[in-house]
Amino acid sequence: GESVGLHLPTLSVQEGDNSIINCAYSNSASDYFIWYKQESGKGPQFIIDIRSNMDKRQGQRVTVLLNKTVKHLSLQIAATQPGDSAVYFCAEAWNSGNTPLVFGKGTRLSVIA
């Protein structure tokens, strides 16, 4: 079946710098994408989502970019803070009968103070 993958399993960023977490997806039929943050010992927490009819969506300090041509998704975190240290997951879905989300394997973000 189709799966969501990640370019890098770990990412270390200096506090205050911007972070970019990448995600590749293989199902061209996917029309919905979502990013989750999982802190150590906790369940995943919703960050931001984007539909396939959009290229960019901004939230508070976070921006998601979608490039459908190369099937690539990225999460940008501005002015990274120690509290941003976590594992970040992207997930995809295709809205043909409310199919469940398919999660990627995750990227661990470490913020260096």
Residue from 22, 49, 74, 76 touching another protein (CB under 8 A): that is: 49
Least separation, in Å, of the C-beta of 34 and another protein? 6
| 64 belongs to the binding site for another protein (CB under 8 A) | no
Max Cα–Cα distance, the chain, nearest Å: 45
Q: Candidates 16-24, 45-53, 59-67, 69-77: pick the segment binding another protein (CB under 8 A).
A: 45-53
| 34 belongs to the binding site for another protein (CB under 8 A) | yes
In this structure, are residues 24 and 105 in contact, taking their beta carbons and an 8 Å threshold?
no
Please classify residue 98 by burial: count the beta carbons closer than 10 Å to its beta carbon, then call 0-12 exposed, 13-18 middle and 19+ buried: exposed
Least separation, in Å, of the C-beta of 17 and another protein? 26
* DSSP, res 1: -
